[in-house]
Structure 1
Amino acid sequence: MTDPRVSPDPALAVLSEPKRVTAPLVDLRRQPDGSRDRQLLYGDEVTVLHHADGWSLVCAAKDGYCGYLPSDSLGSVTPATHKVTARATHAYTEPDLKSPEQHSLSFGSQITALSETATFIETELGHIPRQHLHRTSDVATDPAAVAGLFLSTPYLWGGNSAWGIDCSGLVQIACLACGLSCPGDSDQQAKELGRSLPPGTPYERNDLLFWDGHVAWVQTSETLLHANAGHMSVAEEPIDQAIDRIAAQGDGPVTLHKRLSLPDG
C-alpha cells in the first residue's frame, strides 16, 4: 500500500470487505464530512475497512489511497468489461442520442457491458456510445496524449475527473490509462514514478517536472501541460515561462526532472 494518508483507528473493528464505487463520482475524505483529499470514479474497486454512521473508511485498489466516502456510494464488485476513454460521456435511457441521459461519466470510469449494437453498448447504467468506450484490457501508450484530453478542464483541488482535476490527478489518470502504477498525490509521485535525470537534461515528451507540491507533464521539448491554480484549468505553457512564473509566485524551482518507462506503442 502506498502511503495511505488515512489509517483506521486501532480501536475500531477493521473489516476487509471488497466493494466498488457505484456513484459516477465521489469525494474521498480525510474524515467523514471533512475536506476532499481525492476522488473516486464509477467502478473503482475498494476495500472497506470500517463502516460507521453512513460513512465507510475504504482503501482504493488502484493506488492504496485511503479515506472516507458515503456508504451508499458503494456496491458489490462486478467485473468491469469496458472503460470510458472519452473525456466524458453520457449513459442514455435508450440506444438513441435523443433519449434522456441518465448519468454522466468521466474518463476512467469502468462499466459492465450487457449487450452491444453498432453504435451503443448497453450497460448497467444505460446505453453509452461505443466510440467512448474501450475494453478494460486496452492500454494507451502516450500519457501526454491522455492528459491532453483534459485541456481546459477546470482546476479542482483533489479532483480526479473531467469536471475538475488537479496536477497529481492529471498525472495519475494518464499513467493508469497507460498501465502504469501511480499514487494519488504529487509528493508520492515524486518518490515513486520514473527515474531522476540530472539538471540540464533535454526535455522529452512524457517526462515529469516536479516542484514542491506541483507536477507537470512535458508535451514537447519546449512545452508542458499541467492542471494549475494560476490558470485555474489544465493548460499548455512554455516550460521556461512556467518555471519563471511558478518561481515568481513563491513556489520555488523545479525539484525533480523524471523519465518514465513507458509501454511499447
Structure 2
Amino acid sequence: MTEFDRRRHPVRPDLAAEAYRGRVEAGIFAEGIERRVNADAIPLRPEADERSPIDTEALFGETFTVFEEGDAWCWGQLATDGYVGWLPAGALGIPGPEPTHRVAALRSYRYPQPELKLPPLGLLSMGSRVTVVGEERVRDLDYAVLADGTAMVSRHLMPVGEAEPDWVAVAERFAGTPYLWGGRTSLGLDCSALIQIACQAAGIDAPRDSDMQEDELGSRMNNEKACAMPCRGDLYFWKGHVGVLSDPQTLLHANGFTMTVAYEPLAAVTRRLEEAGLPVTAIRRIA
C-alpha cells in the first residue's frame, strides 16, 4: 500500500476520507463535514490528547473538514494548508457566511460591538478569517461589523484575495515574536510558520512545514551561485529549519537559539549550524 504522509492525507487504517476510496484500505470511508474554527487559535495535534505535541495551529475563521467527530475531539483536515490532525470539538462551529476578510495586522481585538472601551471577546492573529457585513464609525474610528454582530477595527482587515506587495516585509513585522514549536500566530510561531504566514499574506501558496517548503516553495537555486549572489527573499534551509534573507548578509528566522523571530548574520547562523552537523541543504527563491 502507498505510504501517505499523515500530516497531509486524511488516511488511517480504520478511517479515511472518501476521496481515497480505491487508493487505500480502510475500515470506513467518510465524506467529511465542514466546520469553522471559532477559537482565536487552537493547537492541531497528531493525537487526541492535550499532552500530545503541537503540529500546528488552526486560526479563527478557517475551515476544518471533520472526518471523525466525537464529544471531545474531532479528526480532520484544515482547508488553508491541508494539514491533518485532531482539534478539540469545542473549537469548531457550524459554518456561517463565507469569510470576506482576513486579519492583516499582526493581531487585532474583536469586540462585542463597535466600541473600543468594551472588554474584547478575543484577539485574532494575522491570517484569521472574518465575515464583514457592514461598517460603523464611532468617535472617528472605523469598525467592521461582522456577521455575528461583533466588531473589529477596519484598518486591521484586508479583503480575502487582496495581497500584500512584499512578503518579506510581512515576515519582518514579526521580529521579536516569541518562538513556539508548532505555533502559527503573532503571539508565538516557529520557523516554517513565519514563512508560511508571510507568503500567504502576499497571495503565495506555502505549505506548513520546512521539509515541505524545501521541496515545493519557489525554485531551487544552485547553492554556489546563490551564495555568490544572495538576494533579499532567498530561503535558506537546514534539516528541520528555514529562514529568509532580509538583505544579502542577514537572515530573519524564528529560532530556538534566540527563542524569538530574530535577525542574525547569515554567516553566524551557517557556522553555528554547521558546527552542530547541520549544513545548508537547499536555497530557494520565490520569483
For Structure 1 versus Structure 2, the TM-score category normalised by the shorter chain is over 0.9
Residues 1-265 of structure 1 aligned to structure 2 (within 5 Å): 3-5=5-7, 7-8=11-12, 9=14, 10-12=26-28, 14-33=30-49, 34-77=52-95, 78-118=97-137, 119-123=142-146, 124=148, 126-200=150-224, 201=226, 202-248=229-275, 250-261=276-287
8 Å CA contact retained: 2:35, 2:92: yes
Q: TM-score, normalised by structure 1?
A: 0.92
- Extract unaligned runs of 5+ from structure 1: none
Deviation of the 1:255 alpha carbon: 0.7
RMSD value, Cα: 1.7
- Which deviations, in whole Å up to 9, do the C-alpha atoms of 1:184-222 show, x marking residues without a partner? 111111111111111232211111100000000111111
Sequence identity percentage? 37
Matches of 1:117 and 1:76, distance apart in 2? 26
Q: Deviations over 1:91-127 (max 9, x none)?
A: 1233222221111110110001132024111123722
> Is the Cα–Cα contact under 8 Å of residues 19 and 47 in structure 1 kept in the other structure?
yes
Paired letter, 2:143: F
Q: For the Cα contact (< 8 Å) 1:3–1:64, is it kept in 2?
A: no
Change in 2 beyond 3 A, CA 1:51/1:23? same
SS in 2 for 1:138: coil
After TM superposition, the score normalised by the length of structure 2 is 0.86
Letter in 1 for 2:267: D
- Cα 1:230–1:172 change in 2 (3 A) is same
In 1: Cα distance, 2:6 partner to 2:79 partner: 11
CA distance in 2, matches of 1:45, 1:251: 40
Give me the whole-angstrom Cα distance separating, in 2, the residues matched to 1:217 and 1:116: 37
Query: Residue 273 of structure 2 aligns to a residue in which SS?
Result: helix
Aligned-partner residue type, residue 224 of structure 1: L
Partner SS, residue 74 of structure 2: strand
Query: How far apart in 2 are the matches of 1:3 and 1:218?
Result: 29
Corresponding letter in the other structure for 1:122: V
Show CA shifts across 1:218-260 (max 9, x none).
1111111110000101001111111112223x15111101011
Q: Do the aligned residues in 2 keep the contact of 1:91 with 1:125 (CA within 8 Å)?
A: no
Unaligned stretches of 5+ in structure 2? 15-25
Instruction: Give SS of 1:117's match.
Output: strand
Q: Is the 8 A contact 1:32 1:55 kept in 2?
A: yes
Cα separation, partners in 2 of 1:4 and 1:60, compared to 1, 3 Å: farther
Query: The residue matched to 2:114 in structure 1 has which SS?
Result: coil
CA drift of 1:53 comes to 4.0
- Number of residues paired by the alignment? 259
